[in-house]
Chain A
Amino acid sequence: MSKDIMELLPFYVNGTLGGKEKDKVEQAIIDDPSLKDDLRYLEGLRREVKAYEIENSPGELGLKRLQKSLEEEKLKSDPIARARSRITSEQNRTWRMIAVAACVLLMIQTIIVAPHWMQGGTLVAAGGQSEAEISVTFAPDATESDIRGLLLGLNLNIVEGPSALGVYHLSTDDDIQQAVQALKSRDDLVESAQVEK
């Protein structure tokens, strides 16, 4: 059997030979029946190559990767998109720095303030330091400006009220007893004033 025929045989098996070459191989098979063994061997080989399982191809993950590469490629080739991306990335960097600074400030604030929050193992509300408050009622004819002037003058703050009965709760950073006395001394405006725990 000629080498030429032997070299054509695999392509006869895969069905890609045409015209004269196909006729030539077919005639050779008729002339030399031993070629049929080779033919069977090649058919078996082709069948096994086709059946050879490989691991899964990247599939959709591969497509996602490709699309990402494509975006990067577009950025490289488009100066406007690149500039926009650079600006966005700079903005992102600025915001990131601001966020980091805010976190640091929050941490410092927490370190400084937290010990003051915890007093005797109980958490004190944001209402403030003064455990004691003054409850006060004002004369019915006391005007808002009278009350405001009085409270400002005595450095008192309204923390709650007025209630349905007209009771205000006040706090002060100064001496609470002195504040109560001062309130009581203004009986033209104040009906009652007392310390409440």
Chain B
Amino acid sequence: MSEKESVELLKQVAKGDEKAFAEFFRLYENRLYRFILSKLNDSFEASDILNETFLEVWRKAGTFEGRSKVSTWLFGIAYYKTMDRMRKKKPMLIDEDNFPEIVDETPDAVSCLISEDDAGHVRHCLETLKEAHRSVMQLAFFEDMAYGEIAKIVDCPENTVKTRMFHAKQAMKHCLQGRMEERS
């Protein structure tokens, strides 16, 4: 479905069209659930937040002004809801962007590491990423979003998104390198 059709659907939702709302849900539910689950790692909570996110869409569909893509607006709501839940569960005391620079000393061999046989290692390493890094990686590589869109979703400056992505990439390299050494 094109962006224009998504916008049209959202307009119908704003008018209280429940059929359009169901269609909108079916269109984005899977992608959104995946995003929420990547942050929470708890399917029950992820389902809760998915429900809350779409309720918010129902309430606020009329406020969508088209300044961003529908998906950016939607993922932004889900991100906010997820962070809110995480804060309530466990207050975040650490500034996730405040970590030391990682110098990229990983050998180039790692670039060849990512083959289909290593999918398990990649998955393990993805799960060990910090939440802020995982979100950005998920949005950049699963949703194929531009850093500007991601910045709107996670409500931070564009440069922070680029830095987070850089650190996520480095962390993945180190993790994969460690797994490779364990194997050999």
Contacts and interface: CB of A to CB of B under 8 A. Distances in A.
B147 A11 contact: yes
A7 B21 CA distance: 38
What is the interface residue range for chain A against chain B? Answer: 35 or more
Given A8-B162, A45-B172, A66-B25, A16 B119 contact: no
Contacts of A50: 141-142
Interface string B125-140: 0100000000001101
Contacts of B149: 16
B25 to A, nearest CB: 5
B159 to A, nearest CB: 8
A66 B55 contact: yes
B166 interface: yes
Contacts of B145: 14, 16
B137 A62 contact: no
B33 interface: yes
A133 to B, nearest CB: 70
Nearest to A48: B122
Nearest to B110: A41
Interface of B: 18, 21-22, 25-26, 29-30, 33-34, 37-38, 43, 47, 50-51, 54-55, 58-59, 104, 108, 110-115, 119, 122-123, 126, 137-138, 140-142, 144-147, 149, 162-163, 165-166, 169, 172-173
24 contacts: A7-B163, A10-B140, A11-B146, A11-B147, A16-B147, A41-B111, A41-B114, A41-B169, A45-B137, A45-B169, A48-B126, A49-B122, A52-B123, A54-B33, A54-B34, A54-B38, A59-B29, A62-B25, A63-B25, A66-B54, A69-B51, A70-B21, A73-B55, A73-B59
